[in-house]
Chains A and B, each alone.
Chain A
Amino acid sequence: MIREADSIPNGSRLEADVCVVGGGPAGIALALSLSDQGHAVLLLESGRLEPHAPTQDLYEGEVADEQLHSPPGKYRQRRLGGSSAIWGGRCMPFDPIDFETRAHIPHSGWPISYEDLLPYYPRANALAEAGRFLYDAGEALAPGTGPLIAGFDSERVLSNGLERFSCPTHFGNRYARRLALAPTLEVLLGANCTALRLQEGGQALRELQVRTLAGTQFTVAARNTVLATGGLETARLLLASRDVAPQGVGNTHDVVGRYYMCHIAGNVGTLTVHGPTSDVRHGYEISPEGIYCRRRLSIAAGEQQRLGLANAVARLHFPRITDPAHRSGVLSGLFLARKLISYEYSKRLKDGPPPTAAVYARHLRNVLADPLDTTGFLAHWLSKRTLAERKFPSVILRNRSNRFSLEVHGEQIPQAHSRVTLAGGTDALGMPRLKVDWRYSRADIDSLGASLDVMAEEFARSGKARFDYNRHTLEEDVMRFGAYGGHHIGTARMGTDPRSSVVDADCRVHSVRNLFVAGSAVFPTSSQANPTLTLIALSLRLGDFLSRQLRAERAPLQMKEAA
C-alpha cells in the first residue's frame, strides 16, 4: 500500500519488522526483497513521485568550496525513486580488487569479498533493467563483435570490459505498482525521518521521529531500521540525532561523515589510433537482450598491485566541448544549448572564464559549417533518446579522425579529513543542515597519472595507437569541475574495527544492534565503478540478512507455541 504520511493520526506509534528510511534504489530494492519474504515493512519516503520544491529544499546545505563540490541538494532527488529520477544509468560491478586490503591504498579493505556480493549482482542488474550480469564483451555481445581497437590486445590494459546502461530506470515510476501491491509493505509519502532516538545506554534504537511538512508527527518503532537516504543524508541523520549519544548515533569514534569520497574524473589528452576508423568501437553496442553497452579501458589487477595504483577506467571520448577548436557542429550545438540542460548534466559544459563573443561566434560557425552532421545527430537524439523508452545513454560523435580524448573515472583514496559535518542553519523541519568539505589528494592525481602512463605505454607497444597527455595539467584536467557529481560515498563506512568504521559486514551500526545502513555511505572504498549497481546488490544482501535474522527470532516463539 502507498499512502500519505499525513493520513497517519498525529502522535501515533507505528510498528514494523523493518522500517526502511528512504525510497530510492537502495530502499526500494530492500523493501521489495523483504516483503517478498513475508516481512512487515514500512518504507518512509520524504517526497512523492513528482518533484516538490519545499521537499527538495530539505537537502540544501553548504559546501566548503563550490569549485570542488556541488551543493548537497544537487544530483540528489528527494522523492519516490530517489536520485534514480535523474541518474545516467551507468551500471557496472565493483572489481574483486576493490574489496581487498591493498597496502598501497590507506584505509582500504572491505570486511566482505567480491564473492560475498556476487550472488546479488544479477538481481541488482535486473532491477536496474541493465540486462544480464555479463560484463565481458566476449560473453555479453553477439559473437563476432570486434574489439575496442582492432589489434590492441594487452595483458596490462584490459579493453574487453563493459559498462551497461539502465533505461535509465526511475525506480519510483518503475516499481510503484509492485510497492503498492506487496501485501506486507506500506509506503508512507511525505514522511521525513528527523531523528533517531536511542534507548537509554544507546545500544538499540528505540524509535524514529517522523514529521511531514504539513506538521503531522508520529514515531516508528521497528524491530530493525535501515537508513537508505543516500551518502550525504545518512551521515546528516546520524550526526543530528544527539539526544542519547551527544556526538551522534554510531559516532563514538568520530568516523561518521569522514572518509567522504566521490570519483576523480575528467577528459585527458589525445589518443590517436592508427589505421582506418572502422578499427575503433568507441560508442555504444547493443547486447542481444537490448542493452546499450560500452567498452572501457582498465588496468589489470596485478598491475594495480605491482605499481601501487588506485582503480581507474577510461573511455574513448570526444574533445573538450567548450573549446570551439574541435570544429564539431554537434559539440558546439551542445555548448550553445547548455542553458537548456539541467544543472547536473550541463556542469561539464561550463568551464573556464565566461565565453567571449568571439568564442560564441566560433561555436556558431561550427554548427553552421556542419549542418548535415548536426541535423543527423538531432534526428538520432530525438528518436533514440527523447522519444525512446530505453534511452541512448550519451552523446557519441561519429569517428572521423581516429582522435579521441580519454574520459577517465578513477577511485579516490579514502582520507579522514574529507568529510561532511553539520552546518549552522536548520531546514524547515528543524534538522541541522549539512556542510560538505570534500578533499582529494596528490596521491589521487598521481595514481591516475600512473594509470594513464601504463595505457600510453601499452598503446605505444601495440603499435596501434598513441596516447599523449600533459602530466602537468592533469590535476587541472580532472579537477576542472571538482568532484564527479552524484557519487556520495563512504560517510558511514563498513569495517570490522569500530574505531575506523561505522557499520559492520552486515551493514549494522557497530554500537546500535537494530540500526542498519544501506547505500553507498557504507562503501569503505569507491572503486572505478559508479555506485548504483553495487549499492542495490548490497541492499539485497542486507535484505537476506535481515530476513534470516527475523526468521531466527521468530523460530523459538513458534516452537514454544507448539509445545
Chain B
Amino acid sequence: MKVLVLGASGHIGARLMEMLQATPWAKATGASRRMKNTASWLEVDSRDPRQLAQALQGFDAVVNCVAGDAVSIADGARALAQAALQAGCRRIVHLSTMSVYGPAEGRVREDAPLNPSLGWYGSAKCEAEAAMHDFARHGGEAVMLRPGCVYGPGSQLWVGRIGRWLQAGRLGDLGIAGDGWANLVHVDDVCQALLLALRLPTAQGKIPVFNLAAPDSPRWNDYFVDLALAINATPVRRLGRRRLQLDAWLCGPPLKAAERGLKLLGSHGVKLPDALPPGLLALWSQHIHLDTQAATHRLGVRWTPYADGLRDSAAWFTAPAAASRHTLDKVICTP
C-alpha cells in the first residue's frame, strides 16, 4: 500500500513515518510544507488542491496529520478531499480531535453530537470532519480518529510545556480546576491506530470514527502530580483557579506579545516562559471522558499502559536535548 503522510514533520507525523517504514505492507512518503532531503519526501502546501492532486497521484491512501492554524486545518481538509477524488486516491485517514465535542462532559462516545463552540481549533476541526463526509459521499473511503491529548516522547504540548510549567511552579495539583479527565493517549498508540485505520474494512459511504485515549488515563491533577514526581519538579504546588486565571490573563498576553516580537526580530536564541492559554484552564476542569470501546474492540488498538507512557514522557523530558526541541505542534493551543 502506497501511503502519503501529510504533516509528516510534526510530532505524530514523524513517528508515524517511522512506524510505517517498519511495516512490510506499506510504502510511506512524507509530505510537508518544508522539504526534507530524503527520497521519500514531497514538498506540498496542503491548502492548494492542485498541488495536492498532483502529489497524490499513485497513492492508495493518505493520512492527514496536518497541524497549524484554522485555515490550514479547514481549507486543507477540503482541498485534500477534492484532490483525493481527482487523483483517485481511495482512502483518507483523517486525524481529528476530541475538541470537536466542544464543552461536552461525562462519557462521550463517537456518536455524540459535534459542537464547534469552544474556539477556532475545535471549529476548524469540525469543518475538516465535514470535508471528510463530503469525500465519503462522493465515493471515497475515510476513517477518522479523534485523539485526546497526545503525550509520550516528543510531545511539546502535553509533556514539554506541562513539565516546564511544573518546574516553574506555575502548575501543580489544581483541585477542582484540574478534576477533568486528561484523556491522554500515547503517540505510539495514535500511530498504531492510524496504521490499523489504513487497513480497516469500511462500508460504502460510512465513515468509521474512533476516539483515542488510554482507558487508564487519569484525571489532570493525577497526571500533573505524577509527571512532577517523575521529572523531580517537587514539591508539587497546590494552585487554585484564581491563581491560574491570573497567570493566564495577566502574564499570558505580554508573554505572547514578546514571543511574537522576538519572532519578528528573527531571534530564536531567547527562550521565553510558555504562556498559559486560558482555553487550557477550561479543558483541565472539563469532565469529558472519551469512551474508547470502539477503538479497543473494532479497531483493535492495544493501549500503552499509563505508567509506561508516563515513564517514556518523563525520560524524554529529562533527556538533555528535549527542552530545546520545538516542533510544529507548539503553535496549537488546544488538543
Contacts and interface: CB of A to CB of B under 8 A. Distances in A.
Contact of B235 (A173, A288, A389): A288
Interface string B229-246: 100001111111001000
Interface of A: 126, 129, 142, 167, 173-174, 177-178, 181, 183, 286-290, 388-390
14 contacts: A126-B222, A167-B175, A177-B179, A181-B105, A183-B106, A183-B107, A288-B229, A288-B235, A289-B225, A289-B235, A290-B234, A290-B235, A290-B236, A388-B238
A170 B329 CA distance: 38
Contacts of B172: 290
Contacts of A389: 175, 238-240, 243
A290 B237 contact: yes
B176 interface: yes
Contact of B287 (A178, A286, A288, A390): A178
3 A-B pairs with the lowest CB-CB distances in the bound complex, closest first: A390-B238, A290-B236, A288-B234
A174 B236 CA distance: 19
Contacts of A388: 238
B141 interface: no
Nearest to A126: B222
B173 interface: yes
Interface in B99-156: 105-107
A178 B175 contact: no
Contact of B179 (A178, A183, A289): A178
Interface in B161-219: 172-173, 175-176, 179
Where chain A touches its partner, the secondary structure class is loop
A289 B234 contact: yes
B11 to A, nearest CB: 29
A286 B172 CA distance: 14
Interface in B276-293: 287
Contacts of B236: 288-290
Given A142-B234, A174-B176, A288-B229, A181 B239 contact: no
Contacts of A290: 172-173, 225, 234-238
Contacts of B179: 174, 177-178
A288 B231 CA distance: 11
B240 A289 contact: no
Nearest to A131: B225
B287 A181 contact: yes
A289 B179 CA distance: 17
Given A289-B235, A290-B173, 5 more contacts: A126-B222, A129-B173, A183-B106, A286-B235, A290-B234
Contact of A173 (B173, B176, B225, B229): B176
Nearest to B221: A129
A287 B287 contact: no
A252 to B, nearest CB: 44
Nearest to B233: A288
Given A181-B105, A183-B107, A289-B225, A174 B234 contact: no
Contacts of B228: 289
B144 to A, nearest CB: 25
B275 to A, nearest CB: 22
Contacts of A178: 179, 287
A389 B225 CA distance: 16
Contacts of B106: 181, 183
Nearest to B236: A290
A181 B219 CA distance: 15
B235 A287 contact: yes
A49 to B, nearest CB: 13
A36 to B, nearest CB: 11
Given A183-B106, A289-B229, A389-B175, A177 B235 contact: no
Most buried by B among A126, A177, A290: A290
A80 to B, nearest CB: 14
A177 B286 CA distance: 10
Nearest to B285: A177
B175 A129 contact: yes
Interface string B259-283: 0000000000000000000000000
Contacts of A142: 234
Contacts of A129: 173, 175
A285 to B, nearest CB: 10
Contacts of A173: 176
B23 to A, nearest CB: 38
B176 A177 contact: yes
Nearest to A176: B176
Contacts of A289: 173, 225, 228-229, 234-236
A388 B228 CA distance: 20
Contacts of B225: 289-290
A389 B243 CA distance: 10
A287 B173 CA distance: 13
Contacts of B229: 288-289
A174 B235 CA distance: 22
A211 to B, nearest CB: 31
Nearest to B287: A181
A503 to B, nearest CB: 33
A174 B225 CA distance: 17
Nearest to A290: B236
Nearest to B105: A181
A129 B237 CA distance: 13
